[in-house]
């Protein structure tokens, strides 16, 4: 049977780095999918294609409201690494890249630093430029994943779909695929899986990234 992998890039990269301790390299996306094909319900099946959904990094400039300094984000190490990663990934065999878009919504205090910032302000200290990060919002990724699930299912292009995501907004698309007779699986990296996703999939593939790399 033919298997399609649909990967939410932002989710995959975050989980990969949290487990392995570094960002993924482009060929490791295929390694992840190939290893999943060894799971019981997929054994003997073949890879149709990997669909990877992500946004290229922000390539604009923005002025920090605290310092007034203008920052060119194309000069940052984060931009250079992510840009190279996605460009390389697009060239990998059996990979189709689906690009979302980024919306620049100004600046924000990251939630992980909120307690520290509140304490700082309570002590009468002022905010510094480093307390803020640019507020980028990813758009169109979940819509494109949902559309591809519907397309692959309605056209009977594959018999099985493996999702790499934590987004419960995809539940309607998952339900549609299953009604069309497609088996839908979730790839699990030892993270919490939302109840809605568990309910509307046909199985959870557990993969230890450290063992396959």
pLDDT of residue 202: 97
Between CA 100 and CA 9 the distance in angstroms is 10
Give me the domains of the chain, ranges plus CATH numbers: 2-102+138-212 (3.40.50.1010)
What pLDDT, in 10s, does the model give residues 120-133? 888 898 889 899 99
Instruction: Give percent of the chain with pLDDT exceeding 70.
Output: 100
Structure tokens at 156: 């009977």
Check: CB of residue 212 under 8 Å from CB of residue 19: no
pLDDT of 142 > 80? The answer is: yes
Q: Which of 105, 24, 26 is nearest to 62 (CA)?
A: 105
Q: Which helix (H) or strand (E) holds 6?
A: strand 2-8
Predicted pLDDT at 126: 86
Query: pLDDT tens for residues 46-94?
Result: 999 999 999 999 999 999 999 999 999 999 999 999 999 999 999 999 9
Chain-centroid distance, C-alpha 11:
3
Q: Are 11 and 187 in contact (CB under 8 A)?
A: no
Whether pLDDT at 187 is above 90: yes
- Res 197 pLDDT > 90: yes
158-171 tens-digit pLDDT: 999 999 999 999 99
Q: Which two tokens stand for residue 161?
A: 């779909």
DSSP state of 136: E
CA 12 – CA 146 distance, rounded (Å) = 17
Confidence at 144, pLDDT banded by 50, 70, 90: very high
- How many Å apart are CA 103 and CA 134, to the nearest integer? 10
Structure tokens given for 185:
């699986």
């Amino acid at each position: 049977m033919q298997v399609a992998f649909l990967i939410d890039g932002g989710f995959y990269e975050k989980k990969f780095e949290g487990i392995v301790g570094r960002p993924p390299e482009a060929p490791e996306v295929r390694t992840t999918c190939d290893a999943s094909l060894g799971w019981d319900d997929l054994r003997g099946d073949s890879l149709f294609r990997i669909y990877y959904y992500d946004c290229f990094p922000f390539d604009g400039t923005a002025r920090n409201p605290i310092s007034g300094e203008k920052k060119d984000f194309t000069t940052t190490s984060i931009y250079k690494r992510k840009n190279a990663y996605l460009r390389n990934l697009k060239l990998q065999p059996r990979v189709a890249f689906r690009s979302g878009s980024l919306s620049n919504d100004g600046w924000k205090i990251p939630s992980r630093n909120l307690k520290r910032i509140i304490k700082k302000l309570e002590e009468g200290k002022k905010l510094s430029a480093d307390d803020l990060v640019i507020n980028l919002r990813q758009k169109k990724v979940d819509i494109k994943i949902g559309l591809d699930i519907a397309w692959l299912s309605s056209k009977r292009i594959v018999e099985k779909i493996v999702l790499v995501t934590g987004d419960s907004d995809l539940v309607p698309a998952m339900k549609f695929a299953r009604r069309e007779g497609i088996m839908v699986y979730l790839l699990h990296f030892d993270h919490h899986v939302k109840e809605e996703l568990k309910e509307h999939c046909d199985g959870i593939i557990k993969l230890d990234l450290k063992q396959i790399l």
